[in-house]
Amino acid sequence: MDSTNPSSEVAHDFSPLLKVHKDGKVERLMGTDIVPPSLDPKTNVDSKDVVYSPEHNLSARLYLPKNTNQNQKLPLLVYFHGGGFFIETAFSPTYHNYLNDLVSEANIIAVSVDYRRAPEHPLPIAYEDSWDAVKWVASHVDGNGPEDWLNRNADFQRVFYSGDSAGANIAHHMAIRNGGEIIDGFNVVGIVLIHPYFWGVEPVGSEPTDVKIRAGTERFWLFACPSTSGLDDPWVNPCADGSSLASLGCARVLVFAAEKDFLCPRGWFYYEKLKEISVDYRRAPENPVPCAHDDSWTALKWVASHVNGEGPEDWLNYFADFQRVFFSGDSAGANIAHHMGMRHGREILDGVNVIGIVLIHPYFLGREAVGNETADAKKRDWVARLWRLTCPSSTSGCDDPWINPAVAGSDLASLGCARMQVFVAENDFLRSRGWFYYDKLKESGCRGNVEIVESKGEQHVFHLINPTCENAVAMLERTASFLNHQEKA
């Protein structure tokens, strides 16, 4: 290339993937090789290319295994290639060889989707192309689509999405879209995400915290999606606030992570978020307490309806171990978690074994100050007025068992779980009440093991406000250890 020509100068260097020159030319440094479709001699898998979007001249590569029984439909895999949204195609030798092997091993029919790439076609174009491909595949549901391989061989009641890296990102979003735009006769059973390309503003797990590394990752994402709101855009951070993983339009999810991949912690984070069940409930003052507690119990009964594997939500049917159930919440949510434990102790949910409860900075009060709780009359009156607004039917004020579980007459020993973990924060005005609850639990003869953890120098729910600080990370690790603890036989 003529280095004296100003137009040949590099404007953006993302080596070893690509360079973009000042004249707009995109120089891809890898992922440019392609191979034609063929009958693979090693696997006997046949392949061919078909156009799914004449408007944009986009094709997909279809794969069909050997000795296909015309009377037996095969599971259908829709695959999205990786490459950071910048490089690779559905026709590269990397993906051609991989799909040949997978189709042979799994005895499936596969559609490998090609899509337009950034930076010439910035996101969300790749998502729109991929959805067009999904709709084209679904056009064969009634057996009258344009491609006979799909008409004759695909079982549209057993559809899977998969992809690697950026392709795994796309597969996730196709499942989300499938959850919102149901395609008649097209049943997506599961998604397989291989080293998914997800990220976020704040580091998670062992993700690098180095400012330069994170800035470089952000620059890469902004180049792929210049219209983005940043690294907490749901396109790249499916766990960001406002995202709804529960709307995934499939029953099963398999996530692959690689130990030395810098995306590994993010894959684990996605997995953990998928497993969480977060309960929404009606809030005061429009819906005063105990509405929130009643809603939460209704949610628990709904969860318990999946014990026999025949509930309305396949994620719970397939994945939940109802012999290892935990309740948890923070602040008012910790109050609710406590009361759900108490109610479960009285009204056992058949088949549900609540092992433990994790209370984070629980919102408990009392008429009389305990420990180093403030004795200031004005402050205590403000707290009492807030509680009366929350629960106007309360006749005993801050000694109502809804807000003071240690009040005389309460039976903490009836908590329906084997283990308790209580978190308090040194500078939280609720700290002393958390310690008082812990002490009363131990005095009550509660059948479970009880532990308390105090975070020094921290305020109320600091772990949500600053989730990457040292104490928040330690708190997360302590909670994970509590959840994963196995009693010795």
Confidence of residue 182 (pLDDT cuts 50, 70, 90): confident
Question: Is the confidence at residue 5, as pLDDT, over 80?
Answer: no
Tally of domains within the chain: 2
User: Are 337 and 329 within 8 A, CB to CB?
Assistant: yes
In which residue are the tokens 């051609």 written?
96
**Does 331 qualify as catalytic in the annotation?**
yes
Same domain, 129 and 232: yes
**Cα-Cα-Cα-Cα dihedral sign, residues 385, 390, 392, 396:** negative
Q: Could you report the per-residue pLDDT of 346-394, keeping only the tens digit for each?
A: 998 899 999 999 999 999 999 999 999 988 888 899 989 999 999 999 9
Same domain, 189 and 138: yes
Confidence of residue 1 (pLDDT cuts 50, 70, 90): very low
Question: Of 275, 307, 331, which residue is a domain's last?
Answer: 275
The one-letter code for the residue type at 207 is: E
Q: How many CB atoms neighbour CB 146 within 10 A? A: 12
Question: Is the confidence at residue 92, as pLDDT, over 60?
Answer: yes
What angle (nearest 5°) sits at the alpha carbon of residue 10, between those of residues 4 and 12? 170
Q: How many CA atoms lie within 13 A of 267 on its CB side?
A: 23
We report the CATH number of the domain holding residue 151 as 3.40.50.1820
Phi, psi torsion values for 154, nearest 5 degrees: -85, 135
Helix (H) or strand (E) holding 11: strand 10-14
User: Are 89 and 31 within 8 A, CB to CB?
Assistant: yes
CA distance 145 to 109: 16
What are 72's two structure tokens?
């037996």
Confidence of residue 478 (pLDDT cuts 50, 70, 90): very high
- Helix, strand or coil for residue 37? coil
Helix (H) or strand (E) holding 53: strand 46-53
Same domain, 215 and 345: no
User: Are 173 and 127 within 8 A, CB to CB?
Assistant: yes
The one-letter code for the residue type at 151 is: N
In a domain, residue 477? The reply is yes
In a domain, residue 67? The reply is yes
Q: Could you report the per-residue pLDDT of 439-474, keeping only the tens digit for each?
A: 999 888 776 789 999 999 999 999 998 888 999 999
In this structure, the chain runs to a length of 489
Find the mean pLDDT for residues 316-321.
Answer: 87
How far lies 348's CA from each of 299, 321, 340, 353, 354, in Å? Answer: 15, 17, 11, 9, 10
Same domain, 298 and 265: no
Phi, psi torsion values for 174, nearest 5 degrees: -65, -35
Catalytic residue among 331, 410, 414, 444: 331
Question: Of 230, 250, 275, which residue is a domain's last?
Answer: 275
Q: Could you report the per-residue pLDDT of 256-297, keeping only the tens digit for each?
A: 999 999 999 999 999 988 877 778 899 999 999 999 999 999
Same domain, 198 and 327: no
What pLDDT is attached to residue 340?
96
Query: What is the domain range of residue 52?
Result: 46-275
In a domain, residue 418? The reply is yes
CA distance 461 to 475: 11
**Cα-Cα-Cα-Cα dihedral sign, residues 311, 316, 317, 321:** negative
In a domain, residue 39? The reply is no
* Positions of E strands within 386-475: 419-425, 449-455
Report if pTM > 0.95: no
In a domain, residue 387? The reply is yes
Same domain, 314 and 265: no
In a domain, residue 489? The reply is no
